[in-house]
Chain A
Amino acid sequence: MSETILKAQDLHKRFDKVHAVQGVSFDIRQGEIFSLLGPNGAGKTTTISMLSCLLTPTKGDAQIDGYSVRTQADKVKQVIGVVPQEISLYPDLSARENLAFWGRMYGMGGAQLKERIEAVLDIVGLSQRAKEKVETYSGGMKRRINIAVGLLHQPKILFMDEPTVGIDPQSRRRILDTVLELNKKGLTVLYTTHYMEEAAELSHRIGIIDHGKLIALGTQEELTRTVGEYDTLHISVDGSKTDPGALVEPIGKIKGVHRASLEDSSFIIQAEDANTVLAGIIAQLDKAGARVLNLRVDEPNLEAVFLHLTGRALRD
């Protein structure tokens, strides 16, 4: 297992009236995409703000690349790239001018800065329009420049706070692809979203956050399993030569199978992991001479997990 780059320990943030974050702890490993998934007001931005040294935690601390966000903010800020939820750019400057300005705020300059500006423009695919003022950009283009700024100084870890909110599907797709590509090249990403599909597609691991608390943490498979959700296998067989009913019991006894039943000539099998039980099931069917006509695996999704944990839907 690769080493931990970020370690959040019992982070709390209390505003005047709101206890926005209430003891959040998690680790992010080098090279991983880690998502915080949660509904509006869950505390995602507040958590990222503490990790970005923008808010001082009321309690708790976090180490990023070994530096404390409480006491070594200067070091932390060199290591992290931040893509805020709001588009935080100067609308009356061009994209290139924005990048030049922000690059200088990271202490860059000269040829290195020029080179990086072109590189990040290329990554977000806006080299052609870089001369234009940001205020003339579409929402999706602004979001892409917002991301480019976070990449300028080649951070070890990139914080992305709901980077696809309020944009069209194509732009969203583009951004997700960019994240995947950056990750493939080794960038560690902390991603927040309230879209289950995004978390599912991007993340190596996911933390589900609600009312300021991390209520679940793990890979998508782990999460869905911890709440007692199983993969569901639907297997239709040709029942003309054998009696499928006789096979329900032996299949149910296969290790890893939680429950098996038959509806018409289709088996509905709940298993902890479809892949580990599949071979055994097929072997049973084969032995009895039942031909498989159709097979489908439904993985339990995060939506179901959230529903299970909170009794609420992720999106209201």
Chain B
Amino acid sequence: MKLDSKVPEGRLEDKWRNYQFKSHLINPANKKKLNVIVVGSGLSGAGAAATLAELGYDVQCFCYQDSARRAHSVAAQGGINAAKNYQHDGDSVWRMFYDTLKGGDFRSREANTYRLAELSAPLIDHFTQQGVPFAREYGGVLVNRSFGGVQVQRTFYARGQTGQQLVVAAYSQLYKMIKAKKVEMLPRHEVLDIVIIDGKAKGVIARELSTGKIKRFVADAIVLATGGYSRVFRLSTLAIGCNGSAIWKAHKRGAYFAAPSFTQIHPTALPQTSESQSKLTLMSESLRNDGRIWVPKKKGDDRPAKDIPEDERDYYLERKYPSFGNLAPRDISSRAAKERIDAGHGVGQLKNAVYLDFKHAIERFGRETIEDRYGNLFTMYRKITGIDAYKEPMKISPAAHFSMGGLWVDYELMTTIPGLYAIGECNYSDHGANRLGANSLLQTSIDGYFILPNTINNYLEGELKAKRPEIDHQEFSKVEAEVKDQIQSLLDINGSRTVDDFHRELGKVMWQECAMSRNKKGLEKAITQIKSIKEDFWKDVKVTGSSDEMNTELEKALRLADFIELAILMCTDALQRDESCGAHFREEYQSEEGEAVRNDEDYAYVSAWEYNAGEFKLHKEELKFEFVKPTVRSYK
């Protein structure tokens, strides 16, 4: 299949408008006849479901948690970007577009990235209208701060819980439409497969988690908004339930998977302290606005931070990247931390951390200001570690955080399966090989609120004439039987190892070989290892309980089964890309100073994988840069 990105004609500034002019419209009476399934209730899912319902469609919205409001978008602390230029510091749509494209190391589509910047300002208007309590100046106007990888202040925030506040707004808007009887909410329902009829996405099979019941749902179009899949590493900043199952099943049924290996490793999470740890808590990047990162100059220096004099501290980001300093982009900061830790300068119990120090900021601005800016982050740090970060520096460490990769989508956010859309973190769209901080809440919200509701009609208009399949269509029966079989086989294995035990093993391989730094030999080894984990898993996992009850162990097993297969594709993708770009750092391709060396001649494309019965087949979407010239991404 040839990949058609469907990028509209015209100048960058006109593309989205041109698209809207030309796209099909559906009159309100007809919209009522159409029904859309939205899988996910995070910012992308809830935003899409609420807006589609406002436009008149009938919507069913799914989430696996007990309430729509718990989607992992709640965990975003730092903020959301918008080119408002409120600070009068030279920001503009163009600059934001350029920062994002460059931040992604020129591995995203110009037109998508431009649209992201273009729609950012109206999104802040939207959320303000919905009652999000963004931070304000005394005069009542909105405040901004800066985030990694940019030199202007364009980040909006609500204390340290921007994500939570945006989700509450989206969830409330969703419940407004539930009250209007335009949305049916299905919490505690996990989508386990997609039903394709005559080549089009027409339904899903879901498991009701509180009873174990397997159910069928039919629709005229399906939207996946299931979030990131970095739990493939097991230890990550994601929620424990975050999974790749819905997109993986969609992939197996024909949706291409783009750049699966592009994973952002966040530089400022709390370090791992033990084997039994289940997650790594993020400390917002916004802390790098005022915190300074350092390690002791002397290897293995065991003195407490306060006893290490200034001239024996290495503020390595400020040293290596003087113009961006502590605000260097994430991939660069993470790699720099790894480099220092591997060289023996790590601090903390397991020597796997670096310091993030607020001493100078407190001296300069006073404790009160710092408390006002980051109060709840400091409280969170104390709750988890028992340490007061006003008195001694935080210890932080890199952690798997965000999936730039995801289902391949065109300009309309449609996957390669007609009628199947992917929005939010689960698609591959605007971020390229590295996402800039505070750009994801933006992308995920814009996909759901502004883009999808404007593009889906183009497809649905054609479905008006088509008859919706019956729920007892043979394809539904077939897919349902496959889902039930998979569940039964898992329960029947009755082996000797727990699901978590397998997940720990998978996580270690992925972290070692497919995270911050990769090489050919390691990736090849990882693929062999994961294949053998897969074999062992299907021979030796043990899941107790039954299928027709709430069974949290079975839920985990189903998610892990998909993660294992996805992990193989991630390593395959990383192996294929013989260059370093953004978060994808291949050790073979680096400069003498250890910086990434990109290869635009051979790799200026998005890899899009076809499942092909497990023999993954590579397709390429060539990236054409018509409006900007790719440059070497330097933050020196």
A binds B: no
